[in-house]
Amino acid sequence: MRATSIFFLEYSQLQSTTAICPSLFNAATAQDGILSRIRLPAGLITSKQCEVLLGVVNRFGNGEIQITNRANLQIRTSQALIEEVLLDFQDYGLASSTESTDGLRNMMASPSAGIDAQAKINTIPLVKAWNFYLLQHPELTILSNKFSICFDGGEAIRVSDRPNDICLVAVEINDQIYFDLHLGLGDRGDSPASVNVLISQNQVLEVLAALTEFYREYTQQKLEQKTHSRSRPPRLRELLHDWGVDRYLQVIEKYKFRGEIPPSHPCKGGRINQHLGIHPQKQSGLFYIGVVIPLGRLTSQQLAGLANLAKHYGGGALRLTPWQNLLITDIAEADLEQVTQEILNLGLYILDHHPYAAIAACSGYKGCKSAFTDTQADAKAIASHLEKCMQLDYPINLHFSGCDKSCAQHHASDIALVGKDSESYRIYVGDYVGDGEISFGRELYAEYAAHELPQLMERLLNIYQSQRQNPEQSFREFVNQCNLQELREVISHA
Ligand code: SF4
């Protein structure tokens, strides 16, 4: 069944190009092609949807599919997607039924929602219900297309620390599940913070609807007053700073549950990339495998191979992660060895301390006008050098950013490499301890030549692995204790 006539009326404006938050109907032009983003609620994509997508990538694209840090997909094509493609995408649930709502499906859940024994609740039904609500409310399309909702069901793979405007975090009180409301109050990239409001699970959608409608009214007012800068819709955090959190929360006063919010549990084990590798599911006898996707980029053959594995050995779907990797779920124990081998045969990895698991990079100057450096190529050079010359034995996180905006990763990293000019990077390590605007970490080098980075990383990581206090001391803990001048000297003599 094809889409409604409303949709056909809108085709005259389809695939206009813009530099802001590309969607399927509003692609962005980059140096390396026309960039379209496919929003996938909770990062779920079925094997059949992969097949449809691959047909388009192979026909119009550059043979590559990219996972974003919001667990969506991006493709680059040489020309704007044609009507036939968009209609197919609609038929298979890869695009909204109308252009206007396509940019609004930005919602996140833990990649292990519904399969994690530690979780308090399966949030996938909530994601689907909220997605359905958004698609029924085209009046919400005036909102910033960065408006983002997150559901954290208390899984071992937490997502409550991901930057989102609204995050609902499951908590248990007297054997009942409630949601602790978190709002993105801080700066860009900060985790949402609890506002000490509990919501019962059967009122979550009403609460989200009320909060969203209030935000819509604020947006409309600002746009009508034309007081907002650059004529773009305001972000939710601007409402919170402008009108205050208390005023915003008044709109949900009647839904508030009076109770004491239990302390939130920390991430299991505190290790990064804990979703990678083989893990048991709460469903007895079934396992999921977290697959390392180098720099979040898959070839069409790799995606086809993974979709095939999900179809033949798993639950028929892939789960994309906000860390730009993916999970194949529902694999029987007897098939684990075979599936693992086939993943390796595709040129992918499952080890959480593989060099490619360590690195996140933004699109760099080939995909973004703000970039000083070719972050993708420089990140690849480091990963392939480390792969050949050393064995990492603890997961670490290197983050390449072409400029200060830090698109690929908003949270702090172990090592941050930030483009300075076309040939060099600023390098930061560990936790930032000052109060300036740039908070990548402590500055190890103000300028370092891009072509010398692989050798530098090898030396730095070897120093960490040979001088740390014990095998469980993370790179972050190690480097936070270091005197950086002394560390530079050790590196220069390594
Ligand atoms: S971090 Fe800067 S260079 Fe990289 S994609 Fe974002 S805006 Fe572009």
pLDDT at residue number 254? 86
Classify residue 458 as left (phi > 0), alpha (psi -120 to 50) or beta: alpha
DSSP 175-232: TEEEEEEEE--SSTTPPPEEEEEEEEGGGHHHHHHHHHHHHHHHHHHHHHHT-SGGGP
Residues 195 and 257 in one domain: yes
Q: Give the integer Cα–Cα distance in Å for 431 and 353.
A: 20
Backbone angles phi, psi at 171, to 5 degrees: -135, 155
Please name which of 21, 183, 158 lies closest in space to residue 102, comparing C-alpha atoms.
21
**Cα–Cα distance between 17 and 26 in angstroms, integer?**
6
Angle of the 204-225 helix axis to the 236-243 helix axis, nearest 10: 80
Q: Do the beta carbons of residue 76 and residue 376 sit within 8 Å?
A: no
Return all residues near 320 (Cβ < 8 A) that are at least 6 apart. Answer: 40, 43, 44, 45, 67, 71, 72, 73, 111, 326
Instruction: Say if residue 277 is in the same domain as residue 343.
Output: yes
Alpha carbon distance 290, 321 (integer Å): 9
Please report the atom of ligand 1 found closest to the CA of residue 371. Answer: 3
Asked if residue 189 has its Cβ within 6 Å of ligand 1, the reply is no
Residue 449 within a domain:
yes
Query: Are 251 and 211 within 8 A, CB to CB?
Result: yes
Domain CATH for 425: 3.30.413.10
Q: How many domains does the chain have?
A: 3
Rounded to the nearest angstrom, the distance between the alpha carbon of 3 and the centre of ligand 1 is 35
Q: For residues 93 and 116, is the Cβ–Cβ distance under 8 A?
A: no
Answer with the one of 309, 327, 352 that is the final residue of a domain: 352
Give the DSSP letter of residue 266.
P
Percent of all residues in the chain with a pLDDT value above 90, rounded to a whole number: 68
CB of 406 shorter than 6 A to ligand 1: yes
Query: Same domain for 439 and 414?
Result: yes
Q: What is the pLDDT of residues 145-198, one digit of tens each?
A: 889 999 999 999 999 989 899 999 999 998 999 999 999 987 766 789 999 999
Give residue 261's pLDDT: 78
| 7 has pLDDT over 50 | no
Any idea what DSSP says for residue 340? H
What was the pLDDT predicted at 104?
A: 79
| Residue at a domain's end among 263, 285, 309 | 263
Q: Tell me: do 336 and 364 sit in the same domain.
A: no
- Which H helix or E strand runs over 63? strand 61-67
Q: 3-state DSSP call for residue 378?
A: helix
User: Does residue 61 belong to any structural domain of this protein?
Assistant: no
Q: Which pLDDT score is estimated for 8?
A: 35
Ligand 1 centroid–CA 31 distance in Å is 13
Which has more confidence, 1 or 52? 52
Note whether residue 202 is domain-resident: yes
Q: Are residues 348 and 364 in the same domain?
A: no
Whether 239 maps to a domain, the answer reads: yes
User: Is residue 248 a contact partner of residue 210, using CB atoms and an 8 Å limit?
Assistant: no
In the block, tokens 């689907």 appear at 128
Domain that holds residue 238: 120-153+161-263
pLDDT score for 1: 39
Give residue-wise pLDDT tens across range 102-148: 887 789 999 999 999 999 999 999 999 999 999 899 999 999 988 99
Cβ of 324 less than 6 Å from ligand 1: no
* d(C-alpha 213, C-alpha 408), whole Å: 30
> pTM for this one?
0.88
C-beta of 407 in contact with ligand 1 (< 6 A): yes
- Do 363 and 301 have their domain in common? no
Asked if the structure places residue 443 within a domain, the reply is yes
Same domain as 296, residue 259? no
The torsion angles phi and psi of 210, rounded to 5 degrees, stand at: -65, -45
Q: Indicate whether 12 pLDDT > 80.
A: no
Percent of the chain with pLDDT over 70: 91
Q: Last residue of some domain: 334, 352, 370?
A: 352
The CATH number that applies at residue 347 is 3.90.480.20
Question: Residue written as tokens 């209609």?
Answer: 87
Whose CA is closest to 49, among 310, 357, 373?
310
| Rg (alpha carbons) of the chain, rounded to whole number | 23
| CA of residue 401 to ligand 1 center, whole Å | 6
Determine whether the shortest distance from the Cβ of 66 to ligand 1 is under 6 A: no
> What does the pLDDT look like over 299-315, one tens digit per residue?
999 999 999 999 999 99
Kindly state whether residues 330 and 408 are assigned to the same domain: no
Contact (CB, 8 A) for 482 and 442: no
Ligand 1 centre to CA of 77 (Å) is 20
Please give the Cα distance from 103 to 97 (Å, whole number).
11
Q: Report which ligand 1 atom has the smallest distance to the Cα of 405.
A: 1
**365 and 250 in a common domain:** no
235: tokens are 């972000």
Residue 17 has pLDDT above 70, yes or no: no
- Could you tell me if residue 23 is inside a domain? no
The rounded distance, in Å, linking the Cα atoms of 74 and 39 is 9
**Model pLDDT for residues 45-86, shown as the tens digit of each residue:** 999 999 999 999 999 998 999 999 899 999 999 888 888 899
* 179 and 230 belong to one structural domain: yes
State which H helix or E strand residue 278 sits in.
strand 277-280
How many A from CA of 404 to the centre of ligand 1?
7
Residue 377 resides in a domain: yes
pLDDT per residue over 254-271, tens digit each? 887 777 777 765 544 345
- How many other C-beta atoms lie within 10 A of the C-beta of residue 421? 10
Task: Judge whether 425 and 410 are in contact, CB under 8 Å.
Answer: no
Q: Is 373 helix (H, G, I), strand (E, B) or coil?
A: coil
Q: Is residue 218 domain-shared with residue 305, that is, in the same domain?
A: no
Which amino acid residue places its CA nearest to atom 6 of ligand 1? 407
CB 405 less than 6 A from any atom of ligand 1? yes
Cβ atoms within 10 A of the Cβ of 230, count? 5
Beta strands 16-17; 26-30: pairing state: parallel
Position 15 in a domain? no
Phi/psi for 110 (5° steps) reads: -65, 140
Partners of 198 in the beta sheet?
180, 257
Is the beta carbon of 403 within 6 A of some atom in ligand 1? Answer: yes
Q: Whose CA is nearest to atom 2 of ligand 1?
A: 403
Instruction: Report the alpha-carbon distance of residue 305 to residue 203 in Å, rounded.
Output: 41
pLDDT at 101: 80
Long-range pairs, 310-313, Cβ under 8 A, ≥24:
310/47, 311/47, 313/338, 313/339
402 lines ligand 1 (CB under 6 A): yes
CA dihedral 419, 424, 425, 426 (to 10 degrees): -120
Q: Indicate if 346 and 360 belong to the same structural domain.
A: no
Distance 436 CA to ligand 1 centre (A): 20
Burial profile 236-245: b = 16 or more Cβ within 10 angstroms, e = fewer: bbbbbeeeee
